[in-house]
Amino acid sequence: MARRLRILALLCLFAISGLGTIRARQGEGIRGFFPSSAGRQAELEKAFQQVPTPERARLDLWALTAEPRVAGTPEDYRTARFVLAQFRAAGLEAQIVEYDVLLPMPREVRVDLVEPIKRQGPTPEGGWNAAQGAHDRKVIAGYNAYSPSGNVTAEVVYANYGLPEDYDYLRQAGIDVAGKIVLVRYGKCFRGVKPYVAERRGAAGVLIYSDPAEDGYRQGDPFPKGPWRPPTGVQRGSILYLTEYAGDPLTPGVGATPKAKRLAINDVTTLPRIPTTPISYEDATPILENLGGPVAPPAWQGALPFTYHVGPGSAKVHLKLDMEFRTRPIWNVIARLPGTVHPDEWVVLGNHRDAWTYGAVDAASGTAPLLGVARGLGELLRQGWKPSRTVILASWDAEEFGLIGSTEWAEENAEALARHAVAYLNMDSGVAGSHFAASAVPSLSRLIREVAQEVKDPASGRSVYAVWSEEDGKVRREGGIPCAVLKSSRGTEEAGARVGDLGSGSDYTPFLQHLGVPALDLGFGGPYGVYHSIYDNFEWMQKFGDPHFRYSVAAAQIFGTLALRLAEADLLPFDFEDYGNAVRGYLDDLEQDVKKEGGPLQFDGVKSSLTGFAQAAKELGEAVTATSANGGRMPSQVRAANQALMEVERAFLLEGGLPRRSWFRHAFYAPGVYTGYCAVIFPGVREAASRKDWSAAAQQLDQIRQALDRGTGTLARAVAALGGAGARIGP
């Protein structure tokens, strides 16, 4: 076996070496690096990219998915110890950081159809364990975390996706959901939005099912024949109201340490108040089949083989949930490579380790590349390299419950991150296929494209960028980057290589939207229908997601190369001209939408501020070009410029946060209240406009103007530090 592993590793090195030679020839053109250091950087990246191997990725994924690893359980702790051991074996300083957070677990879940027929539920998910051929008793029941306990018997009403417009339709049809159990299907929004809306419409309970139109047999063959959800597949997941704040519900805004002051559960505003649970489409079928009432409209019809009605009658369900709410420990694993030139500038990489069951895609397929990055950086250390900036690798826990591990660490270290963080790089579900997708703040979009040009697509042998450009980001992903492929109004988008906007739903949220740290999120997607089910396991990955584990290698190469660019750059490779162009597109969209609504907002002031920002960004680009051309001497000037560049994103934070949800502080980006995953651009303005509160909308538009002015001033500091456009730097 050892000989075979060595042969596989050598083959991988030979496959990558040709690309490394190209990089060395192009070294003089690496943006952010002076000519004197570009060649060295090219060789560094070449050496790093030779370390990750498919066989090592396969072994990592096999180990990570050996048993379910729900946050706060002994199995979760064992995987934390596994990751810690891998970090340390790579030569990195690492430790486990523990927090105590509210994690509810199910004691009993019952969904019984009691009229017009009797049928007990839920149906056991079935399980898939190739070695044992049996259901793993450690797998947690299908449930929605943070649902309250409840015991309700009521008629059922079908409400499509459970969005406000769906309830408006029912009301117009004379159907009242008050006191009813609402059956809704997954899709269109974060699952927590569904009970949030239902609760406000008076429903007594919520059932969320996976319709085969979304991720089942209408898409293709179900597992194990194909990659899509089988009839008994259940999508577990948190229904915490994350659009108000992320993290531990009991400690908003502060790390959940022993000294933290905790809210009483009755005072927590992010907890749903009506019992909610997920069910499979096998269990949803007899409920839908027995619904009376009007025929559901065409857009509400799913893929089950009968006509959907909205009810109520004749279907009646007994829903009983018994949930144990308790504070439990979680375990982040943090590795740190101290910087030697700029130790007070931090580049942070993260991926969450926990899962609802085996979690091969979500998110072991991101943990395996993170371990590949750790080994690659460790090999560079053994060769004598030391990072210029401090690099932090983080294995987050309890992401599935509400981005908890990352949020608690970010909140505990908020002051340090505000001073030191260069960027946060996120990989959630790293590999579910071969289609690359990314989301980022606009200043990092160009960097992602540049790095994607330097890594081979395993299937074609061309660059990831070339394949990505051709595919035009058309593949839908569940989980990590769910909104990366939506329409973007960015003025700088390259045809086909579209970088999406960051909404929420993964661990970049506290860094960008609470602390103003530039962030990105990336991974390879594909046909993936077993999200949050027992079928998201090693067998699924080996058959459908990444059979040869070559895309795990590509993911590690991109992830690590991005980190190396940011850790070693002479001048941080942010592109604020791209940022200005993106904001211009955002403003154009906002102005058009406001005009359609007849809003009285005036955009002249914010447009003037944007012009100033764009001019400062242009001058910065000229100053960077001149500095590089003149050899980039005078380290104190470069250091001052980099410090200013790190602070531009922080300039976009609102002092008091967004109205009604102050934890979210970014003026440009926040998750939508009724989407949860996808970004709402200029959320303060848009949310006020949706209420026709034009006075509040005008105030929020002025907040955007002020944020742009702060950003302009910060860019001007960077330009001044470099001596201005065209100035000679150094003797």
Per-position DSSP letters for 282-320, written without gaps between them = HHHHHHHHTB-SSBPPGGG--SSSS--B--SSB-EEEEE
In the structure encoding, which two tokens stand for residue 160, read together?
Answer: 């499509």
In 632-693, where does DSSP find H-type helix? 635-647, 683-690
Measure the CA–CA gap between 559 and 428, rounded to whole angstroms. Answer: 11
Task: With beta carbons less than 8 A apart as the criterion, state whether 248 and 325 touch.
Answer: no
Which DSSP symbol is given to 362? Answer: I
Sign for the CA dihedral angle at 503, 508, 512, 517 comes to negative
Q: Give the containing element (helix H, strand E) for 214.
A: helix 212-215
Measure the CA–CA gap between 368 and 556, rounded to whole angstroms. Answer: 8
Cis peptide bond upstream of 314, omega within 30:
yes
| Residues with Cβ within 8 Å of residue 144, at least 6 apart in sequence | 191, 195, 208, 236, 237, 238, 239, 276, 277, 278
Percentage helix, strand, coil, to 5, in the chain? 40, 20, 40
> Comparing C-alpha atoms, which of 558, 559, 562, 548 is closest to residue 433?
548
In the block, tokens 């898939």 appear at 128
User: For 184-214, b where at least 16 C-beta lie within 10 A, e where not — what string?
Assistant: bbbbbbbbbbbbbbbbebebbbbbbbbbbbb
> Is 539 part of the annotated catalytic residue set?
no
Q: 670's torsion region: left (phi>0), alpha (psi -120 to 50) or beta?
A: beta
Cis peptide bond upstream of 614, omega within 30:
no
Task: With beta carbons less than 8 A apart as the criterion, state whether 438 and 517 touch.
Answer: no
* Strand 276-279 to 205-209 pairing: parallel
**Which amino acid belongs to residue 338?**
P
Torsions phi, psi for 113 (to 5 deg):
-80, 120
Measure the CA–CA gap between 538 and 368, rounded to whole angstroms. Answer: 12
Residues facing residue 88 across a β-bridge: none
Measure the CA–CA gap between 610 and 603, rounded to whole angstroms. Answer: 11
Q: Give the containing element (helix H, strand E) for 581.
A: helix 576-596
**Which amino acid belongs to residue 102?**
L
Measure the CA–CA gap between 125 and 135, rounded to whole angstroms. Answer: 8
Torsions phi, psi for 535 (to 5 deg):
-85, -5
Whole-Å CA distances, 479 to 243, 280, 291, 376, 444: 16, 18, 31, 27, 21
Beta-sheet strands, E only, within 477-566: 519-525
Side-by-side strand order, sheet with 93-102: 93-102, 327-337, 389-396, 342-352, 421-426, 519-525, 435-440
Measure the CA–CA gap between 655 and 662, rounded to whole angstroms. Answer: 9
Q: Which of 399, 408, 539, 568 is catalytic?
A: 399
| Residues with Cβ within 8 Å of residue 225, at least 6 apart in sequence | none
The residues that are catalytic are: 399
